[in-house]
Structure 1
Amino acid sequence: MAIALGLAVVLAIILDAVADGGPALAVLLYCLGIAAVRLPLRHSAPIGVLAIGGLLVEGAIHGRLGRDLSLILSACLVFLVAYSVKERRAARAAEAREAVLAERARIAREIHDILAHSLSAQLVHLEGAKLLLRADKTDEALDRVVHARDLAKSGLEEARRAVSALREDPPALPQALRTLAEDFQATTGRPCTLHISGAEHRLPPEAELALLRTAQEALTNVRRHAPGSPATVRLLYEPGSCDLRITNPASAEPGTPGGGYGLVGMRERAELLGGTLSAGETTDGFQVRLWVPA
């Protein structure tokens, strides 16, 4: 293509020198535009130099350098406009690719947050059940299997919710938190109080997702590590930020041991947004707090 366009430029200059007509100049400008749009700069630039040099030589030979100088300016303008169009197209394509990669990363993180924690906990329970069966402790082994089944059921429900959220527009954060509180109460039989203060408004999708996943993980930990305890969820909308706190009193019943990897993932998600996540004991129980700029 570069050779063909170069030859077309030379022929257009020769035809203009012989016939001094407009069609030859139109062909010249068209070839420069095509070269700038279709070819890389290392190939299109020599064609532009060839056109400018040919026009200068033609003007010097025929004594019409003034006319050809204006034509050279027009040729440079056409080349620059066509090249800028090409660069804008490349920039939009790059932005589209980055958006696709970011969406893939978001989906991967979402699936990991949902499944990795529940699957690792299931493996721990099943491994413990295997050891208990070898020791003829069938009742304790059955209890481990039941816990693993409950974790599998919970993970499957979370995966279905995630797929549904990817297919549809997710609900607003307050509504999603109300649903979580209702699920907690229906599952545990204990109250889950939700307090929302400040002017409610939609946050960026990444911020709403981080707040929702943190609330899910915190309420899951309450069910596992503090069985029988109620929970309180507080969401505060502030100018330029949002503050989420999940608290629960200490439980007299023994909970399921765990390593807290889910909160580690939530902390990483918060840091990606420029926020902070803290989790620890309080004077009367346990609190998980997430602050994100929004």
Structure 2
Amino acid sequence: MRRALSGIVPTALRLGAIVLLIVVPLSATSAPGLTGTALAVTLLTAALALTMLALVLLSLRNAHEPPGVSWWKSLRSPRQAPQPVALIALGLAVILSVALSTMTHGGPAVGALLISVSLVVTRFPLRQSLPVGLLAIGGLLMAGVLAGDPTQNLTLILGNCLIFLISYAAKQRKATRAAEAREAVLAERARIAREIHDILAHSLSAQLVHLEGAKLLLRADRSAEALDRVTHARDLAKSGLEEARRAVSALREDPPALPVALRRLAEDFESAAHQACTLRISGPEQRLAPETELALVRTAQEALTNVRRHAPGSPATVELECDPAWCDLRITNPASAEKGSPGGGYGLVGMRERAELLGGTLSAGERDGGFLVHLKVPS
């Protein structure tokens, strides 16, 4: 429905141009008639009107094609020779417009010429539209030479060149916007893929490690240790499911402000680990780029999750410091006396890749008897 309605306005304009092409010359000096020059004007006007009407019909047929199928492309059948009907019609319209404009000294024929040049640039690639544009310029020059004044149609020639350039620039701008839209879709798909990977990949790999260990322990008749491994795998699955749900919710809704998101992570850590999580935020309160805020939140989330798994019973500290140039995020925790669950480290690898995409850095390792995760990204 929208596709059909979008063709009504240009179709109405073209039909109006055809009506003006027929009506206006009736009151002109070189009016259509049945003898001499007047007969030639009549024949040229009729031929040009029929050609323009054929272009309108072709455009209407294109508008009624199913979405994604261009009738201009369907003119080229794989089983037949190329049949650029519309291109030939536009070339004929240019020739007729130049001839009629020369005989009537302007009038609606000039409008038909400019419309034809604009249409051919809009509908066809440059290698096909350029010859038609040169045909219009050559025809106008030839008409001036035959009339004894080569500069007679100089203004009209410049007008045609201007219309050609404006139409081509508009076409290129539209193509650029379409390419940017496609790039945005691909970037969004990549972002969603990273979200799913960062949330699930490390938890699933850790589950596999625990389950494989449980299988080996059961074969060795160490059922108590095997049960402990299965319990850890269940906890990882539950945590991964909660994080996946949180990610889906974040993708569907506007993300909260960075301080709010970090505060929620600290509260979740305290609720799950039954240990304190100190949050310190310094710097001007301002919203950062969405991808920057997302990287900071995901890094803090991954680091706190690792503290719960690999240093159970250990408190955590989250420090965020932002200035006009950089944002520093530090997550630290002291060493734990309790034995943590093993992990493959895929989450930190994903965070490091996310930081590098933003032009930042991420480091993680032991520091002052504890563990430090440090993310630095441009603000």
TM-score normalised by the shorter chain: which range applies?
over 0.9
Deviation at 1:168, TM superposition (A): 0.6
Give the Cα separation in 2 of the matches to 1:110 and 1:293.
Answer: 20
Cα contact 2:335–2:371 (8 A) shared by 1 = yes
| Aligned-partner Cα distance in 2 for 1:30–1:171 | 51
SS at match of 1:70: helix
The normalised TM-score by structure 1 is 0.97
Aligned to 1:289: 374
Aligned CA-pair RMSD: 1.1
Q: Whole-Å Cα distance in 2 between the matches of residues 179 and 22 of structure 1?
A: 72
Match of 1:208 in 2: 293
Q: Deviations over 1:89-140 (max 9, x none)?
A: 1111111111111111111111110111111111111111122222222211
Matching residue within 143, 159, 165 for 1:58: 143
Q: CA deviation at 1:64?
A: 3.8
Kindly provide the CA deviation profile for residues 209-236 of structure 1, in whole angstroms up to 9, marking residues without a partner as x: 1111111111111111111000011111
2:214 corresponds, among 121, 129, 147, to: 129
- How far residue 19 of structure 1 moved from its aligned partner, in angstroms, is 3.0
State the match for 1:85 in structure 2: 170
Number of the residue aligned with 1:157: 242
Aligned to 1:237: 322
CA distance in 2, matches of 1:247, 1:6: 73
Which has the larger displacement, 123-132 or 70-79? Answer: 123-132
Please name the residue that 1:141 is paired with: 226
Q: 2:155 — aligned with what? A: 70
Counterpart residue type for residue 363 of structure 2: S
How far apart, CA to CA, are the structure 1 residues paired with 2:105 and 2:200? 74
Deviating 4+ runs (over 6 angstroms): none
Q: Which whole-Å deviations, capped at 9, do the CAs of 1:161-186 have from their partners, x for residues lacking one?
A: 11111111100111111101111111
Kept in 1, the 8 Å contact 2:277–2:317? The answer is yes
Using the alignment, how far apart are the partners of 1:258 and 1:17 within structure 2? 84
**Which residue number in structure 2 is paired with residue 185 of structure 1?**
270
Letter in 2 for 1:192: C
Find out whether 1:194 has 2:275 as its counterpart.
no
Q: Mapping of 1:242-281 within 5 angstroms?
A: 242-281=327-366
Q: Which runs of 5+ in 2 are unaligned?
A: 1-85
Decide which of 95, 118, 141 is 2:180's aligned counterpart: 95
1:228 aligns with 2:333: no
User: What is the TM-score normalised by the length of structure 2?
Assistant: 0.76
Per-residue CA distance 1:34-71 (angstroms, 9 max, x = gap) = 11111110111000000011111111112243231111
Q: Aligned-pair distance for 1:2?
A: 1.3
Q: Percent identity?
A: 72
Between structure 1 and structure 2, the one with the greater Rg is 2
CA distance in 1, matches of 2:152, 2:213: 90
Shift of 1:142: 1.2
Shift of 1:255: 1.0
* 2:202 paired with 1:117: yes
Displacement of 1:260 in angstroms is 1.7
Shift in Å, 1:259: 2.7
- Structure 1: unaligned runs, 5 residues or longer: none
Amino acid at match of 2:344: G
Counterpart Cα distance in 2 of 1:238 and 1:31: 57
User: Distance in 2 between the 1:166 and 1:261 partners?
Assistant: 22
Aligned length: 294
CA distance in 2, matches of 1:150, 1:124: 13
Amino acid at match of 1:30: I
